[in-house]
Structure 1
Amino acid sequence: MERQQEESKVDLIIVGGGVTGAGVFREAVRNGLRCLLVEQKDFAWGTSSRSSKLIHGGLRYLKEAQFKLTLESVKERERLLADAEGLVSPIDFLMPLYESSGPGRAAMAAGLTVYDIIAGKFRHRYLRSGRVKELVPGINTGKLKGGYLFMDAQVDDARLVLRLIGEGTRQGGRALNYTEARSVLRDEKGAVCGVSLKDVATGDTWEVSAPAVINATGVWAESLHPSPEAHLHLRPLRGSHLVFSRETLPVEHAISFFHPVDKRPLFIIPWEGVVLLGTTDLDHEGDVNLEPAISDDEAEYLLAALKRVIPHAEVTRDDALTSFAGVRPVLSEGRKEASRESREHAVWVDRGLVTVTGGKLTTFRKLAWDTLKAAQPFIREDPLTGEGDAVFSERRGTTPEGLKTEVYKRLWSRYGKGTLALLALSVPRGLEPIAESPYVWAELAYAAEHESVSHLDDLLLRRVRIGLVLKNGGLDQMPAIREVVQNPLNWDDERWEREVEAYDSLWKRCYSPRPVKD
């Protein structure tokens, strides 16, 4: 169907296909609103596929006296653990304590107690130094006093976005990637009346009418709606990560620690069969329309921290499998230290244009509801409902015969009802793992056929994350990948070769351990 043949009038247009826009879309559709979501690049292209993969309460926000943010974050973490089981999973964190640096035992105990009180579950415990050494072989033992074990959670961020969009579209919403919002349309009185759209691939333009528009474009938010507060503006901050195999960096528990130079909190996290080392926090001076990449200084900064916490880890940058970087939309009142900036969000309203920006992955649903409440007066008189409902309405049923429960649970957590279509596909290697990854070949085939894939990087970096977890970003598996996805993508041989060449270039520029500079 041509895109300009979509509905010409809807109740709500959402601009931005990251986790905030996807959250708004999901809740609005659930309320019976006719919704159109548009994204100028791919769904989850920005920060929502390049985060640190954590659904966390924000323990460090207590130190900054951001009690409201911590309260919201812990509550949302608990909700997601209950409602998005499998996609959002608990993870044990270990924070070693040293005599000469970092927080003391009393301060950590107080913070973690508050953490657990908010969650309503007592989960943290103190470990003596001997036990810390057992859990983290090779840890720096100089002046090691002990450590705390506590719980947070992690997620496949891009799949969270796609699951939200998937439920919304199955219930009647429309979501278009590679569709640019050129301008917000207003009537003679200045009230919002729609959006002018452009198909990025064809250049075709058209208009869709709506009484309200949500601007959920992250770091691009002020291009559609300049901040109404002269002292408050978006500050793009980059966070970069190195990714290692578990053989190279054999860490079983997530470790939270402090950089020896600037005392910033960092982490080492097992995730999707690999280990993440991150994250940096500095001003991003590059073009936000281009994919960011880790810098040489950031890589050295992360490795210096790793060397401090696990001195005997013989790990270099060249041992990494991949790297990735994301740009956070942080609201700033001035040039304070980047890591001390607040992660709270703001909602701005201008006669039907509602902008939401700032915030963090964990609290996406809070952002979504604050935004919808602000937009509701422009849409209908009746209040919106369901703020306390489960995040996902599609419930997993009985495991199909012949399928392992853990496999079905994992697939359902990522695809919802789409899992049934995925399992019905007849593809080479089917439910076998793709190389050393936790992903299976049928996931590639399903995404190619059902999840609006326009380019190879959509498929390998966001639908299935092999571009992040396999050496060379999955390029070594390209002949087998071609066999599974070329037909459902309906690409001829010439198109396939162009896409592989483009993906190869992109991965080397932005995702290799040593990104190639243009």
Structure 2
Amino acid sequence: MAEVSALSDRRFTSSDKLLAEMRSGESLDWDIIIIGGGITGAGILREAVRRGYRALLLEQGDFSSGTSSRSSKMVHGGLRYLAAGDLKLTKESLTERERLLAEAPGLVDRINFYFALSKGLFPGRWAMAVILTIYDFIAGIYDHRYHNNRRLGERFPGLEQGHLNGAASYSDAMVDDSRLVMRVLQESIEAGGTAINYSKVSQLLVEEGQVQGVMLNDSDGSEDIRLRAAAVINATGAWADRLRNQVNAEKRIRPLRGSHLIISRELMPVTDVLTSLHPDDKRGVYVYPWEGTTVIGTTDLDHSEDLDIEASINKAEVDYLLRAFNAQFPKQTISRTDIISSWAGVRPVIGSESSKDPSKERRDHAVWSDNGLITVSGGKLTTFRLIALDALNAALPQLPKAKPFSDDRVFITPGLTPEDLVADDPIWAQRLLGRYGTQAKVMLDSAPEAERQRIAGTDFCLAECRWAARHEAVAHLDDLLLRRTRLGMVMVHGAMELLPALEAICTSELGWNQDHWHLEVQRYLSIWKRFYSLPEDNDRT
């Protein structure tokens, strides 16, 4: 097992540089190759390098470009799983929620949830009180309460209360899921791991019936690159069956789509999460704050479309979410013209039966071992660390002995406080520390003064864009606007007004000339219009 570096100033490896090394015969042998650059793959890389393994993560698109940038942004214990009797999943989720809150303040933040209690429907006030008592007991906190309609109306002005019997409140947490992936990857790289995006595995390398590595597509070379590894872990989420089917024909993944709408905070200024039952099917629908906007979500539908095409909301889902909102806030009704953007993600659920209501499918994860290939899929964002450990444990028989280690933290932010970063704005400083760790100070110090100011109407600044372009493996403009930051989602018209400033950043940091810049703008606008705007623009019904 090779020694790994612990240099604290390591950055993401240029895929061009690493591929050049591979073509020349270097970097071809690894202890572990992880396929998939979402939160599960990032978690596996983090745990692998902690144990001293020489580990490589390969992502065919951009980091977090699949499910892990398109979740509902909630780090939660799964209250409905507890109501369904799944104590194990709830306990694991609550334990991990509290861990993330402690380790990544500013990235994972506690928020109050208000569950509106509908008259004559389950759960009623007392049933909800019992459920939340157990929920808080497992989490080791006590913060649930009952609120009558008057207090609920004060918290959510304009809420239709005729059908309600107050609400029960409790706490869970919110996150920027894509930044969580980047933070875990950065911790992994600083500990000696390697992760490259836009690097597609064309097939598994199978010798004598056992998976011995992967064939990496080399778009600039004459043939694919053969990479060998003691263990190959398939962490491709909704795509897991496709890779696993090279060694096992079984189909286990049921892709489910969840879609969301973003509206201006001025239209519905909420600071807490409201959960209410949809008037049509009684499914829970959320209205909640995120990145300076208000989000309405989510749907839960079978996703039968091509997984290689990004998921997007359809017209029926837009109508469903608008009806949910307008039924709860009849005096503040919104329409399509009020929507800033949308997003849809595909959840990799371990399917039990296709006829089962998607919302009733369990959210457990599963790990399979097939002829040397370890596949992991399913599960929840909140429990990514436990999922990663299960996958890594399944690979241990194929690996050399791990080095001893005692520090099991995922996030490390030593020696910095918000006051060290931005003395007059500790809340914003904590946000930056949560997303960038100790690098937050370097990021701000290395940017021009004008770029350190928040972009109007958002909590982002251009210094983050410059840092991402310089250090976070940005290959395309959509990487920058839809994942490293969320400016393309929270600003009207996909943040078109920022393009002049971003052109200057990308020209200096990425070396793009004017022709390249125009191609990137065309690519970004095409992606935004098709997958992040309204269905009228993406031709989906």
Matched position secondary structure for 2:254? strand
Structure 2 residue 224 is matched with structure 1 residue 208? no
What displacement does 1:480 show? 1.8
TM-score normalised over the length of structure 1? 0.95
Relative to structure 1, the CA distance from residue 481 to residue 269 in structure 2 (aligned partners, 3 Å threshold; closer, same or farther) is same
* 1:271-420 to 2 correspondences below 5 Å: 271-335=290-354, 336-382=356-402, 389-398=408-417, 399-400=419-420, 403-404=423-424, 405-420=426-441
Q: Which amino acid aligns with 2:395?
A: A
Does the CA-based 8 Å contact 1:124-1:148 persist in structure 2? yes
Q: Which amino acid aligns with 1:432?
A: Q
Q: Which amino acid aligns with 1:3?
A: L
Partner of 2:504: 483
Partner of 1:161: 181
Aligned partners of 2:191, 2:250: CA distance in 1, in Å? 41
Aligned partners of 1:265, 1:375: CA distance in 2, in Å? 38
Relative to structure 1, the CA distance from residue 467 to residue 402 in structure 2 (aligned partners, 3 Å threshold; closer, same or farther) is closer
Matched position secondary structure for 2:120? coil
Partner of 2:284: 265
Aligned partners of 1:164, 1:488: CA distance in 2, in Å? 23
Does the CA-based 8 Å contact 1:169-1:175 persist in structure 2? yes
Aligned partners of 1:378, 1:351: CA distance in 2, in Å? 11
Partner of 2:152: 132
Partner of 2:90: 70
1:472 maps to which of 493, 502, 505: 493
Q: What's the Cα RMSD here?
A: 2.0
Matched position secondary structure for 1:437? coil
Give the aligned length.
516
Aligned partners of 1:482, 1:99: CA distance in 2, in Å? 55
Does the CA-based 8 Å contact 1:427-1:445 persist in structure 2? no
Relative to structure 1, the CA distance from residue 230 to residue 499 in structure 2 (aligned partners, 3 Å threshold; closer, same or farther) is closer
* 1:503-514 to 2 correspondences below 5 Å: 503-514=524-535
Structure 2 stretches of 5 or more lacking a match? 1-16
Aligned partners of 1:227, 1:329: CA distance in 2, in Å? 19
Q: Which amino acid aligns with 2:195?
A: A
Aligned partners of 2:247, 2:131: CA distance in 1, in Å? 35
Structure 2 residue 9 is matched with structure 1 residue 5? no
Matched position secondary structure for 1:3? helix
2:268 maps to which of 245, 249, 266: 249
What displacement does 1:402 show? 6.0
1:268-324 CA-to-partner distances (Å, cap 9, x unmatched) read 110111111000000112111111111000000001111122221221121011100
Does the CA-based 8 Å contact 1:179-1:200 persist in structure 2? no
1:360-382 CA-to-partner distances (Å, cap 9, x unmatched) read 11110110000111111111234
1:1-57 CA-to-partner distances (Å, cap 9, x unmatched) read 251414111110000000000000011111111110000000000010010000011
What displacement does 1:228 show? 9.3
1:501 maps to which of 515, 518, 522: 522
Aligned partners of 1:231, 1:181: CA distance in 2, in Å? 20
Aligned partners of 1:110, 1:402: CA distance in 2, in Å? 43
TM-score normalised over the length of structure 2? 0.91
Does the CA-based 8 Å contact 1:4-1:206 persist in structure 2? no
What displacement does 1:192 show? 2.6
Relative to structure 1, the CA distance from residue 206 to residue 91 in structure 2 (aligned partners, 3 Å threshold; closer, same or farther) is same
Partner of 2:12: none
Range 357-366 or range 244-253, more displaced: 244-253
Partner of 2:6: none
Partner of 1:98: 118
Structure 2 residue 40 is matched with structure 1 residue 20? yes
Percent of aligned positions that are identical: 46
Range 369-378 or range 2-11, more displaced: 2-11
Aligned partners of 2:255, 2:122: CA distance in 1, in Å? 28
Structure 2 residue 211 is matched with structure 1 residue 192? yes
1:145 maps to which of 159, 165, 176: 165
Aligned partners of 2:249, 2:222: CA distance in 1, in Å? 35
Aligned partners of 1:203, 1:424: CA distance in 2, in Å? 43
